[in-house]
Amino acid sequence: MYYVVCNKCSYTLYSGERAVNVLKTFQKYGDKCPRCFSRLSTEPRKIVVKGKRRPSP
């Protein structure tokens, strides 16, 4: 599984089977985290999780 998360609050912006472009995912949200409203475009972070591990909420 692939996860794109906010680097401030760890909000999951994308999770799915397919790898995605982090910046495109950010653009979908208007470059702002819908939860903490911090700008997303500065330090994109992509988490790739294989197997059973999931990001903590």
Binding site for Zn ion (CB under 5 A): 6, 8-9, 11, 33, 35-36
To the nearest whole angstrom, how small is the minimum distance from the Cβ of residue 34 to Zn ion? Answer: 8
- Minimum gap (Å) between residue 6 Cβ and Zn ion: 3
Question: Residue 39 CB, nearest distance to Zn ion (Å)?
Answer: 10
Number of CB atoms found within 10 A of residue 24's CB = 10
- Residue with the two structure tokens 């692939």: 2
